[in-house]
Amino acid sequence: MPLTDTFVRQAKHSGRAAGDKHADGHGLYLLVRAAGKYWRWDYRHAGKRKTLALGVYPAVSLAQARRRRDEARELLAQDVDPAERLSKRAKAAAAEVAAGNTVEAAGRAWLANRRSAWSEAHYTRERRNLEKDVFPHLGQRNIADVEPPDLLRVIRKVEERGALDVAGRVLLTARGVWQYAIAEGLAKRDITQDIKKALKPHLKRNMAAITDPAKLGELLRASDGYKGGPLVRTALFIAPILFQRPGNLRAMRWADVDLDNALWSIPSEDMKRTRLQKLNGAEHLVPLPRQAVQALRELYPLTGGREYVFPGLRDPKTPMSEAAVSAALNAMGYKGIHTWHGYRATGRTLLREVLRFPRDVIEYQLAHRGQVTHGGAYDRAQYLQERAEMLQAWADYLDKLRQGADVIPLRA
């Protein structure tokens, strides 16, 4: 049975002196020893049984090992001994990988070292930065030999495709790798510090959001008149009332909604938190104003039999995509003017500047507090009543804006 990435990552040495062999197919196997994990390929050439070393895990992934095996099989089909075809450069690169001194080896070791402290999304982003933009250019270089101009050329390739924000994140990822390499004795200095000032400046833009009461009223009326399906229409109605993150709202589960007590409990693991915070943090409680409760009750006959309140159109077993509401906003003429995520800025601004609610209460509603502090364990009690009153006042205020009444200008 072919190996999987999960099995390879979790495979442990049993203690056998010869190590443990785990076959993948066509002669490829993973050899697990106390010192590490090694890719090997058994083959026969000229009547003799031979074994070819294909690299060390995690520097060489399962997919890479399979590619190397397939390349060797092609040579074997031409009656060429793959071992004899290894060039001096390939042998040197393999030796460096085995020693763990290459950029790729150090990068993968750093990823493995940090994974338990990161959320899955953060780990995926860091790995993508390395696999897409760093490893293809520097992966087989000895990390101690890489100079600042070498890394700068890699970062500038990212800039050339117009991804200035990604270029900055790739540099931060590289910094983690080099600092890990220094600690492990693989490199002598952090070269990322030398090129920071050479990157093109990136001006971070906030998500487009309407914070003017009159224009918000226009948006609410346009949303009420939207001719799309009931799921998107309900999401458009609830989003400005609760102003939670789009990912949380579209993944809302009926099991987490208590309509009788007007409360939505978002599990800690679904929040934007580190892995440690997800494990130890409290659920985020969101009071539901009567307008939100009514909208959800009206939607229940349609999706109440499914896991998600807003199931996907193509696959009802998954939540609807973020593009669904974004496409609706664009269709209503709000592209570049207001985004789904922008409802958070809308609520934060108007609740403070117009309705004058305390900043701490607003921040708790935004889930910007109570995640890792000691008080986070008691988030169920903190500001819950205040937030319930605030959201009801906010929902009532939005109703008035829909009607074009009580439009209070922002303070200068």
**Contact (CB, 8 A) for 342 and 207:** yes
d(CA 257, CA 260): 9
Tokens of 375: 């008080």
Give the angle 328-330-336 at the CA atoms, nearest 5°.
140
**In angstroms, rounded to a whole number, what is the distance separating the alpha carbons of residues 412 and 407?**
15
> Which among 235, 349, 369 is positioned nearest to 302, based on CA atoms?
235
Return the active site residues: 245, 272, 341, 344, 368, 378
46: Cβ contacts below 8 Å, ≥ 6 apart: 81
Three-class SS state of 51: strand
For 21, the 3-state DSSP assignment is strand
Kindly report whether the peptide bond that precedes residue 58 is cis, defined as omega within 30 degrees of 0.
Answer: yes
Q: What is the dihedral of CA 162, 168, 169, 173, to 10 degrees?
A: 130
Q: For the chain, give the longest Cα–Cα distance.
A: 91
Fill in the DSSP letter of residue 163. -
Distances in whole angstroms, Cα of residue 118 to Cα of each of 91, 112, 114: 35, 10, 7
- According to DSSP, residue 133 is labeled I
